[in-house]
Amino acid sequence: MSESDTKRPAAEVYKRLLGYTRQHWGLGLLAVFGMVIEGAAAGAFTWLMEPMINGTFVAQDAAVMRWVPLAIIALFLVRGVAGFIVDVGMARIGGSVVFQLRSEVLAKYQELPLSSFDREPVAMMVQRLSYTADQVARASADALKIIITDVFTLIALLIVMLYASATLTLTILIVTPVIAGIISVVGKRYRRLNHKVQDATSGLAHSAEQSLHNVEAVKIYAGGAMEVERFVAHAKSSERLNRKIIATQATSSALVQIMAACALGALVWFAGRMAVGSGLDAGKFVSLMTSMMAMLPSLKRLTNVQSQLQRGVAAGDSLFAVLDAESEPAAGTSPVDARQDLVLEGVRFRYADDKPWALDGVDLRIPAGKTTALVGRSGSGKTTLARLLPRFYSPQSGEIRLGALPIESIALAELRRHIAVVSQNVLLFDDTVANNIAYGSLQGASRADIEAAAAAANALEFIRELPQGFDTPIGDRGNRLSGGQRQRLAIARAILKNAPILILDEATSALDSESERLIQDALDRILKDRTAIVIAHRLSTIEHADQVVVMDRGRVQETGNHAELLAAQGAYAHLHKLQFRDE
Ligand SMILES: Nc1ncnc2c1ncn2[C@@H]1O[C@H](COP(=O)(O)OP(=O)(O)O)[C@@H](O)[C@H]1O
Ligand SMILES: [Mg+2]
């Protein structure tokens, strides 16, 4: 689901975008009516040229001299009002389309499986919500406005021209297919270029974001120059593409204008002949000339609107790619009893088809109400195993069951309701301490419960020292807190959730031994009657686990309790010896 995964035909994208304007059909109709009026007013004005020239200057008719000026003023009044309705109406409809698309895409992001997030950088996702959605608005509002107004303007002007002289008008029409041909060729090239520009722009944002987020690493490893180089390469290619787009645009405008000039030359030539023989008078000729001149801006806008629409289609296409992506399958059994064994059978999983197996045939029983510790080298698949339990990812083969039920058959919300996770990398929200603990479904928790959870996570002391206590904002991603403080908030959140299944993935890794010991007692109490999966680096914290599972290269190497595994003199005993020596 990348930006280049865009195969929907343009017509389908237009239609789907128009669907978003449906609720504003009344306003839309009014705006379209305004556009028709604008077009008709343009025609009426050039038509007025005939009575103006013939009546005012040639015949010097007093009546015509009175009404023509009044008609001009009235015409522009009507046109002004129509223009206002069009602008305001279309802006409102366009704004509403952006709003709907943004909400839908953000909602969809919440439903996408984690694997989509591995494939697409967050910068690209944010880009879709901001820039891409705006581009779509321009397509469905500005471009539509130009198309309808200018097409009606052209029709009105054409009628005036035919009325003035059919022969001359038909001569001009011969040029039209040529112009149309050029427009279509240029449009195709434009659409291609535009896709590339969008990719380049988000690549640009991604590259900048990376170096800016990782500013500490960039500074200490003197990566600045490299980052700038990388960014400049992106910026250059983006700039090159932009130049190409401008060139394409400029060429098309120039070509169309040259065509029009040829038509004008032919017109003057023919008119000279006709004035001698047939009844082409001065008024009709001026009316025809002004009509033709008035067509030029409309034609020019219409050739450029093509590119604008293409840009909108490309943008809409990339949003629809998100909306059409498959959501996590959420339906299933509910309610379920979570106080049953978790069983993994022949579970194999890899993050992508071209990646090695992260779990390579895991058979494991995680007994209900007991603590199971996962240990093993980094990269052995512990985190991955823990991620499969709340169905963040689904195994490619094998089965995970809760009691007798395959977890795939449990309603996703129900499954996750029963699981609390403290993950390895704690990311918090830009909100207060209290709101970070009572997050999501925990929102309604009382202050007393929040404080109790914070106390159990040994977080009360540092929270009390914050300037506004529980109501202190903790900054973007919690960057005003230390790693250990963030971890304690995440633990408090998990404690508050009070779920029957608890997953702690190196949940105390960022704590010093002192704080860890303090939390450990609290954790031991909480783990007591729950199904707990504890991933630990420091073996001393899992000595009391009911079951210890040693993982290696995506497989279960050993299982047993601390004493049994030590006695077995295997991998666990080896790990233990290494750590014991260190301490
Ligand atoms: N999001 C991911 N995308 C691709 N590969 C991943 C991802 N997360 C982990 N891996 C890979 O899966 C393997 C197991 O990783 P992990 O479960 O995190 O190990 P552990 O938690 O035991 O250190 C590693 O080889 C790691 O590189
Ligand atoms: Mg891990």
Ligand nearest to the backbone CA of 384: 1
Q: What percent of the chain has pLDDT over 70?
A: 96
Q: What is the pLDDT of residue 517?
A: 79
Task: Tell which of 324, 345, 372 closes a domain.
Answer: 324
Q: Whose CA is nearest to atom 26 of ligand 1?
A: 379
Q: Of 413 and 304, which is predicted with more confidence? A: 413
Atom of ligand 1 nearest to the CA of 114: 1
Does one domain contain both 264 and 413?
no
Is 508 a member of any domain? no
The answer to whether the beta carbons of residues 17 and 312 sit under 8 Å apart is yes
The verdict on 316 and 411 lying in the same domain is: no
Kindly tell me if the per-residue pLDDT of 397 is higher than 90.
yes
Give the pLDDT mean for 184-204. 76
4 pLDDT above the threshold of 50 = no
In a domain, 432, yes or no: no
Same domain, 52 and 176: yes
Is residue 530 domain-resident? no
- Establish whether residue 118 lines the binding site of ligand 1, counting it when its CB lies within 6 angstroms of any ligand atom: yes
Confidence band for 6, pLDDT divided at 50, 70 and 90: low
Closest CA to 288 of 509, 42, 50: 50
Count of CB atoms situated within 10 Å of the CB of 174: 10
Split at pLDDT 50, 70, 90, the class of 567 is: very high
Atom of ligand 1 nearest to the CA of 424: 21
pLDDT of residue 1: 39
423 CB under 6 A from ligand 1? no
Among residues 324, 344, 362, the one where a domain terminates is 324
Between CA 376 and CA 556 the distance in angstroms is: 9
The residue with greater pLDDT, 266 or 557, is 557
Domain for residue 581, yes or no? Answer: yes
Pick from 353, 384, 392 the residue to mutate for probing ligand 1's pocket: most ligand atoms within 8 Å of its CB.
Answer: 384
State residue 175's pLDDT score: 63
Mean per-residue pLDDT for 111-118?
90
Domain span including residue 545 = 330-418+536-583
Measured distance CA(583)–CA(574) in Å, rounded: 15
Distance 379 CA to ligand 2 centre (A): 7
With respect to residue 95, please indicate whether it lies within any of the assigned structural domains: yes
Domain count, the chain: 2
Residue scoring higher pLDDT (567 or 1): 567
Asked if residue 381 has its Cβ within 6 Å of ligand 1, the reply is yes
Same domain, 127 and 34: yes
Same domain for 254 and 127: yes
| CA–CA distance, 392 with 115 (Å, rounded to integer) | 8
Is there a single domain that holds both residue 123 and residue 161?
yes
Distance 536 CA to ligand 2 centre (A): 9
Average pLDDT over residues 359-381: 95
Q: Which residues surround ligand 2, an ion (CB under 5 A)?
A: 383
Any idea what DSSP says for residue 459? -
Quick one: pLDDT at residue 582? 65
Per-residue pLDDT of 284-330, as tens digits, reads: 888 988 998 898 889 888 878 877 888 888 889 889 999 999 999 98
Nearest CA to ligand 1 atom 21: 383
Task: Please say if the pLDDT value at position 514 is more than 70.
Answer: yes
Q: Rounded mean pLDDT of 480-497?
A: 90
Does some domain include residue 261? yes
Q: What is the pLDDT of residues 140-169, one digit of tens each?
A: 788 888 989 999 999 999 999 999 888 778
Give the Å distance between the CA of 379 and the centre of ligand 1. Answer: 6
Residue 489 CA: distances (Å) to CA of 27, 393, 449, 460 = 50, 25, 14, 10
In-domain check, residue 423: no
Q: How far apart are CA 347 and CA 381, in angstroms?
A: 12
Quick one: pLDDT band at residue 465, thresholds 50, 70, 90? very high
Residues 399 and 362 both lie in one domain: yes
The atom of ligand 1 lying closest to the CA of 380 is 22
Ligand 1, atom 19, residue with closest C-alpha:
379
Lowest mean pLDDT across 51-65, 154-168, 254-268, 492-506: 254-268
Give the residue, by CA position, lying nearest to ligand 1 atom 9.
384
Q: Which atom of ligand 1 is closest in space to residue 352's alpha carbon? A: 4
**Does 561 score more than 60 pLDDT?**
yes
CATH number at residue 578: 3.40.50.300
Residue 187 sits in the same domain as residue 68: yes
The number of the ligand nearest the C-alpha atom of 378 reads 1
Distance 427 CA to ligand 2 centre (A): 15
Span from the CA of 554 to the centroid of ligand 2 (angstroms): 12
- pLDDT (0 to 100) of residue 100: 93
In the listed set 297, 324, 351, which residue is the last one of a domain according to the structure? 324
Q: How far is the CA of 106 from the centre of ligand 2 (A)?
A: 28
CB-CB neighbours of 346 under 10 Å: 11
Residue 176 corresponds to which tokens in the numbers above?
């039209």
Assess whether 317 and 334 both reside in one domain. no
Half-sphere exposure of residue 311: CA atoms within 13 angstroms, side-chain side: 22
Token pair listed for 67: 């009404």
What pTM was estimated for this model as a whole? 0.75
- From the CB of 270, is ligand 1 less than 6 Å away? no
Q: Are residues 255 and 360 in the same domain?
A: no
Task: Give the residue, by CA position, lying nearest to ligand 1 atom 8.
Answer: 384
Among 49-53, 357-361, 424-428, the range scoring the smallest mean pLDDT is: 424-428
Q: In this structure, which amino acid lies at residue 28?
A: G
What is the per-residue pLDDT across 195-226, written as a single tens digit (0 to 9) for each?
777 777 777 888 788 778 777 777 887 888 88
pLDDT digits (tens, 9 = 90+) for 123-148: 888 988 888 888 888 777 888 889 89
Per-residue pLDDT at 484 exceeds 90: no
Same domain, 155 and 274: yes
pLDDT confidence of 3, banded at 50, 70, 90?
very low
Ligand 1 centre distance from Cα of residue 140 (Å): 43
As to burial, measured by CB atoms within 10 angstroms (0-12 exposed, 13-18 middle, 19+ buried), residue 371 is buried
Looking up residue 83, the CATH number of its domain turns out to be 1.20.1560.10
Token pair in block for residue 431: 């909100």
CA of 382 to the centre of ligand 2 (A): 6
The owner of tokens 């499969």 is 388
Q: What is the mean pLDDT of residues 334-354?
A: 94
Q: Let me know if 273 is exposed, middle or buried by CB neighbors in 10 A (0-12, 13-18, 19+).
A: exposed
What is the number of the ligand closest to the CA of 385?
A: 1
Average pLDDT of the chain, as a whole number: 87
Of residues 518, 565, 507, the one with CA closest to residue 382:
507
Top-confidence residue, 16 or 7: 16
Average pLDDT (247-251) is: 80
236 Cα–ligand 1 center, Å: 35
Number of C-alpha atoms within 13 angstroms, CB side, residue 346?
Answer: 4
Task: Report pLDDT for 2.
Answer: 40
Residue 514 lies in a domain: no
The average pLDDT across 504-524 equals 82
Residue bearing the CA closest to ligand 1, atom 25 = 379
Q: Is the Cβ atom of 487 under 6 angstroms away from ligand 1?
A: no
So what's the pLDDT on residue 40?
Answer: 95
And the tokens for 239? Answer: 């700039």
Q: Is 83 found in the same domain as 119?
A: yes
Distance CA 86, CA 38 (A): 9
Determine whether the shortest distance from the Cβ of 355 to ligand 1 is under 6 A.
yes
Mutating to test ligand 1, I would choose from 117, 118, 120, 351 the residue with most ligand atoms within 8 A of its C-beta, which is: 351
Atom 4 in ligand 1: residue holding the nearest Cα: 351
Please state, in angstroms and rounded to a whole number, the distance separating the CA atoms of residues 334 and 53: 82
